Structure 1
Amino acid sequence: MNHHITLLAALLTSAPLAADTLPDRQTELPAVAKKANTDYLTPRPLTAIPDTEFGRKVKYGYSLFVDSQQMRGRYVGNEQNCVNCHMQAGMKANAAPLWAAYTAYPAYRKKNDKVNTYGERIQGCFNYSMNGVPPGDSSPELVALSAYAYWLTMSGLLNKYGLPEMPVPELSDAELILGGKREDFVLPAEIAADFPVSERGNLAGRGYPKLPSPAQEPSIARGAQVYKTTCAVCHANDGQGIKGADGAQYFPPLWGKDAFNWGAGMHRINTAAYFIYENMPLGKSVQLTEQQAWDVAAYMNSHERPQDPRYRGDLDANDQRYHKHQGYYGDAIDGHKLGSRAYPTATIEPQPGT
């Protein structure tokens, strides 16, 4: 096992590709057209998590996933929780479920120009979606979040292949953060034969389903009306979400200082449209027309938010290097270039081991 990890470590630190082969390093979530009558992976209920040391890591990962504000000021710098973008505690198909992501890594990502382990993929979410700093490779938080994703994946696979009584194999911390797209990832023989490494990033329900291009160019003005009638009830007229009397953020901000930053995938108009159409309004998904989803995604992403962490003082250069995609960063909206009045990225002191 150590031999395989050493080989992977060498791959992760290999020389990057030439810059001119990467005109836009801001890769996005995979998106394919939604298929009808798909048999999605179904993880075991949370009550099936064993009361063992490994099971306690899984439970801790679940807790962090649904209430990421536990990490506020250490790793999280905004009012977001992982579950805001990965619905139903990361189990909902077509809402970037964890059970489909775990077996898609290790994988190369243009965003940081290297092969990423599953743990590194999570670390990227802390940098961008959570506007924070990533927990270290051996941190209890990263291990726990990886353990939760692994448990969802493996329990779902065991169920699918008629092995509902087989316990989920327990992995070491070092193995958990690697992900399942590797030859030495242990699977029962009946699963391994039908689920080769080449197919592990293609589980149905991964990412957000792709929408056709809209009949009309996405409109910020039309999107404002959709937002007012459909979204404001949960996210407030000012886009700052809803807080309880206890100060807890029950519905997340969509822009402003406590939203995801300009480096997060959700600031792309197309990614946001895919997510919104399939998953919003909460509990009543697929209520908007496709055009409305495109329009309200444009409206949401026409507002300032925290700066892209890769920004080095030159907005136009950052725009050209990282934002050659469907978004408004660097564009003139309401009299100023978006990004020029961005809120600060999180000022969190890195924790030991990060």
Structure 2
Amino acid sequence: MKPFVLVSVVGLLMALPIQAATIAMEDQSQLVPRPAGQQAALFQPPSEKDLPDNAYGKLVRQGYALFVDTRRLAPQFVGNGLNCSNCHLDQGRLANSAPLWAAYPMYPAYRKKNDKVNTYAERLQGCFQFSMNGGTPPAADSPEITALSVYSYWLASKAPLGVEQPGRGYPDVAQPAQGYSIARGAQVYGDQCAVCHGAQGQGQKVGDHYAMPPLWGKDSYNWGAGMHRINTAAAFIKHNMPLGKGASLSDQQAWDVAAYINSHERPQDPRLIEGSVEKTRVKFHANDGVNLYGQTVEGVLIGQGIR
């Protein structure tokens, strides 16, 4: 039996302060399918054409709109320049880019990050708090969390419950024998990344909104986000970057450029303990993958935060 979502759908549709009707969901059913061997290996989420024209379908569309246009539609919960779709590509559909269809069926689940069993709503709250640098996240029963949950449920509605799917998360990329080099990463960044994300990691704007997300600085993810881990960023980069050319970088290049990106300042970890980077490092970062928080690089303490 599939999990179900207990919501008052009509009430949520009235309360949700987002304009889903202004953002058309991209229906990709016309695209050429994957080769037969790959098609069988990866779960295929439903298409928009399969959505019913009722309250449930409208709420799915609202969740989609919020997912791809988070900063504009939920500005009170987003403290930087990012949208959910910056880390979960292709509307949360793309395998090896933490697709929603592979995440939703695996919750509730224990997370070492907060040492508790998390509901899916709590997992979404964490994204707002850390990746979106949003301060206090939406309540678990808020219209925003509900819409995103329903969108995720719809994408996963035909996936098996509690079964690890190929393409979930960002598949690990083992640390190369040479480790990582920030200097080499700077070269990779200049050659492969700066054209989209800017020479200073500032991203690219169209008007007031980012067309390409910033990778460091005040409008990027904060020091508590999973992407601050070099190993996590390397996995995302290896499988998905440069955009449209995933898997074109070597493992070494992915690790090097991830280290370069995460050697730059960004907003402070909201869990900062007594104003101390060192206390925060010991409690939250010392055993959290490979990261530079609280370390000194070229004479500069990393993790002081930026506003």
- Distance in 1, matches of 2:172 and 2:151, equals 27
Q: CA deviation at 1:70?
A: 2.2
Matches of 1:265 and 1:290, distance apart in 2: 19
Q: Does 1:258 align with 2:219?
A: yes
1:219 matched to which residue of 2? 181
Q: Provide the residue aligned with 1:339 in structure 2.
A: 303
Task: Report if the CA contact (8 A) 2:66-2:74 is conserved.
Answer: no
Matched-pair contact (CA < 8 Å) for 2:196–2:212:
yes
Structure 1 CA distance for aligned equivalents of residues 140 and 163 of structure 2: 22
Alignment partner of 1:329 out of 283, 293, 296: 293
| Cα offsets for 1:242-300 (capped at 9, x unmatched) | 001x2220000000000000000000000000000000011111111110001000000
Contact 1:68 1:80 in 2 (8 A): yes
- Gaps spanning 5+ residues in structure 1: where? 6-35, 158-194, 345-354
Aligned residue among 277, 281, 294 for 2:238: 277
For 2:143, the equivalent position in structure 1 comes to: 140
Using the alignment, how far apart are the partners of 1:251 and 1:337 within structure 2?
Answer: 28
On the 8 A contact 1:83/1:89 being kept in 2, the answer is yes
Shift in CA distance, 87/219, structure 1 to aligned 2, threshold 3 Å:
same
Separation of aligned partners in 2, 1:131 and 1:85: 14
Structure 2 partner of 1:232: 194
What amino acid is aligned across from residue 223 of structure 2 in structure 1? Answer: W
For 2:106 and 2:59, the matched residues in 1 are separated by 21
From 147, 152, 157, give the equivalent of 1:149: 152
Question: Residues 193-212 of structure 1 correspond to what in structure 2 (within 5 A)?
Answer: 195=160, 200-212=162-174
- 2:87 corresponds in structure 1 to 85
- Residue 57 of structure 1 and its aligned partner are, at CA, apart by 0.9
Cross-structure match for 1:42: 44
Which stretch shows the higher mean deviation, 327-336 or 89-98?
A: 327-336
Contact kept, 8 Å, 2:125 with 2:137, in 1: the verdict is: yes
Deviation readout 1:24-69 (Å, 9 max, x if unpaired): xxxxxxxxxxxx9461111111232222111111000000111111
- Paired AA for residue 204 in structure 1: P
TM-score (norm 2): 0.84
Distance of 2:264 and 2:74 partners within structure 1: 23
**Superposition map of 1:1-354 within 5 A:** 37=38, 39-132=41-134, 133-154=136-157, 156-157=158-159, 195=160, 200-244=162-206, 246-312=207-273, 313-324=275-286, 325-340=289-304, 342-344=305-307
Deviations 1:63-90 (A, max 9, x none): 0111111245311110001111111000
CA deviations over 1:145-197 (Å, ceiling 9, x no partner): 0000000001x43xxxxxxxxxxxxxxxxxxxxxxxxxxxxxxxxxxxxx4x6
Distance 2:302 2:74 in 1: 26
Rounded Cα–Cα distance in structure 2 between residues aligned with 1:72 and 1:153:
24
Runs of 4+ in 1 over 3 A off after TM superposition: none
Tell me the SS of whatever aligns to 1:41. Answer: coil
Shift, 1:201, TM fit: 4.5
* Aligned-partner residue type, residue 53 of structure 2: D
The aligned counterpart of 2:26 is none
Distance 2:223 2:240 in 1: 22
Q: State how far apart, in whole Å, the 1-side matches of 2:285 and 2:270 are.
A: 13
State whether residues 223 and 266 of structure 2, in contact with CA within 8 Å, keep that contact through their aligned partners in structure 1.
Answer: yes
Q: CA RMSD in A?
A: 1.7
Q: Matched residues in 1 for 2:140 and 2:111: separation?
A: 18
1:95/1:208 contact within 8 Å kept: yes
> Percent of aligned positions with the same letter in both sequences?
54
Aligned to 2:18: none
CA deviation after TM superposition for structure 1 residue 114, in Å: 1.5
Asked whether the 8 Å contact 1:105–1:201 carries over to 2, the reply is no
Task: Please tell me the residue identity of whatever aligns with 1:91.
Answer: R
d(CA) in 1 for partners of 2:74, 2:217: 17
Quote the Cα distance in structure 1 between the aligned partners of 2:244 and 2:47.
20
Instruction: Report if aligned partners of 2:81, 2:210 keep a CA contact under 8 Å in 1.
Output: yes
